[in-house]
Amino acid sequence: MANNLIESDIDFVNDITKLGGGSLKKCFQCATCSVVCNLSSDDKPFPRKEMIWAQWGLKDKLISDPDVWRCYQCGDCSVNCPRGAKPAEVMGAIRNYSFKNYAFPKFMGTALSSPKYLPLLFAVPLILFLLVLAHVGNLISVPAGEIVFAKFIPHLYVDPIFIAVSAVVAGAMAMSITKFWKNMDTNNPHGNHYGEKSILQSGILAAEEILTHNKFKKCDANNLRYSGHLAIFYGFMALFAVTTIVFFGLYVFGLELPLKLTNPVKILANIGAVALITGCTIAVYNRLNKKDTAGESYYYDWLFLGILFFIGITGLLTELVRLSGNAPVAYWTYFVHLVFVFFLIAYLPYSKFAHLMYRFVAIVYAKYAGMREPAEDAVSEKTEVKSVA
């Protein structure tokens, strides 16, 4: 006879509680959360089943569940929960746990999940760039003449560092994502219906969903959160595009830096920085004023938000101080900016920044495996239910 005994992982339940799912035990399975969610399908809807699995400590099911990542944590479910169980927070806690679980190497997942390791994590880029400055002779004094950041920390050192770090990060991320995909394929609660869409078609549709935020728009509880998220996303994408253009411009087309303020690439960079700062400011306002219906903010949330915010601020300050002609302040502001950029890139697979990749892969898998999505008429009915409530 088969053994159908469910084995509960109590340590997992405790971890979810610490990572933001403290209200988990309040849930009494009324299914209101799934009924009001505009993103949940009628076929095995979330987040009700995730709340059951989390209460039971079914770790393997949750860390391989694509629906955990199809949720945008808008907070519609938490606002309408009659028990105050805050399913949005629980879903967020499961995602935070996943960063640790899939981390490669494992100790990095632990390091990024606790504030006690933060000084050590910052010490790595800080010491690295100080050693570069000492090597080129700019640790005590800054270069004379026109302010050109390549004279302070030459591209000969900066670019190889970031290329090497990016390569290592890409490898670590690939290891984590591969394991995640295999687990989804093994434990998919919806059943597999392969053949409806190819991997390529699924990838294109997933990219469209993320780029347009068309699913996020269907969330009703907090439109301000949607606006902030959109500004952060496109601000970051603009800065990523600028970095890519400048890199190839330097090494392929002989681009000369610094760029003039009227240069289209410089304009895009400034727009991206302003959008990033604006989005982060909206997110901070939401959290500090308790207007974020996604629930309380925890270390993972604040760390990611803080890094993005200071990348935007130090990037703009670097340009403004350079234009003012204050060489020492300009060069050391640039130094601080590099430290934050290194932090974001080097620790990508282990921080909340990785949620972009996990969400993309989960959406690709959901479409490839034929997992159902809510029909438009069902979305309208759910909206009516929330209006009546």
Which residue among 103, 130, 145 closes a domain? 103
> Looking at the predicted structure, is the pLDDT value of residue 139 above 60?
yes
Does residue 340 share a domain with residue 208? yes
Shared domain for 150 and 278, answered yes or no, is yes
Same domain, 213 and 111: yes
Question: Same domain for 185 and 246?
Answer: yes
In a domain, 379, yes or no: no
Asked if residue 241 and residue 169 are part of one domain, the reply reads yes
Cβ atoms within 10 Å of 31's Cβ, excluding its own: 12
How many domains are there within the chain?
2
CATH of the domain at 152: 1.20.950
DSSP 123-160: HHHHHHHHHHHHHHT-SSSPPPSS--HHHHS-HHHHHH
Residues 98 and 219 in one domain: no
Q: Are residues 74 and 130 both part of a single domain?
A: no
- 228 contacts 286 by C-beta, under 8 angstroms: yes
17 in a structural domain = yes
- Regarding whether 121 and 73 lie in a shared domain, the answer is no
Burial of 135 per CB tally in 10 Å (0-12, 13-18, 19+): exposed
Q: Mean of the pLDDT values across residues 368-378?
A: 69
Summarised one tens digit per residue, pLDDT across range 359-368 is 999 999 988 8
When mean pLDDT is compared across 72-81, 234-243, 342-351, the lowest value belongs to: 72-81
Residue 351, exposed/middle/buried by CB under 10 A (0-12, 13-18, 19+)?
buried
CATH number, domain containing residue 93? 1.10.1060.10
Q: How confident is the model at residue 43 (pLDDT cuts 50, 70, 90)?
A: confident
pLDDT-derived band at 10, boundaries 50, 70, 90:
confident
Residue 44 lies in a domain: yes
Residue 182 has pLDDT above 50, yes or no: yes
Residues 116 and 152 in one domain: yes
- Does 380 score more than 70 pLDDT? no
Query: Which long-range contacts does 147-155 make (Cβ < 8 Å, 24+ apart)?
Result: 147/322, 147/325, 147/327, 147/330, 147/331, 148/257, 148/258, 149/257, 149/258, 149/318, 149/322, 149/330, 149/331, 149/334, 150/257, 152/331, 152/334, 152/335, 153/129, 153/334, 153/335, 153/338, 155/250
The domain boundary residue, chosen from 75, 103, 131: 103
Q: Which of 103, 125, 152 is the last residue of a domain?
A: 103
Q: Within 10 A of 189 (CB to CB), how many other CB atoms are there?
A: 17
User: In this structure, is residue 114 part of a structural domain?
Assistant: yes
Residues spanned by the domain of 162:
106-368
Quick one: 44 and 188 in the same domain? no
Sequence-separated (6 or more) residues with CB below 8 Å from residue 293: 74, 75, 76, 78, 79, 88, 221, 222, 225
Question: Residue 190: pLDDT band by 50, 70, 90 thresholds?
Answer: low
Structure tokens at 165: 């770090």
pLDDT, one tens digit per residue, over 113-133 is 899 999 999 999 999 999 999
* pTM (2 d.p.): 0.89
In this predicted structure, the answer to whether residue 11 has a pLDDT above a threshold of 80 is yes
pLDDT at 292 over 90: no
Is 382 contained in some domain?
Answer: no
The whole-chain average pLDDT of the chain stands at 87
346: in domain: yes
The answer on pLDDT for 1 being more than 50 is no
Claim to verify: residue 238 and residue 155 sit in the same structural domain: yes
Quick one: 243 and 126 in the same domain? yes
Is residue 382 predicted with pLDDT exceeding 60?
Answer: no
Establish if 355 belongs to a structural domain. Answer: yes
Report if residue 257 sits inside a domain. yes
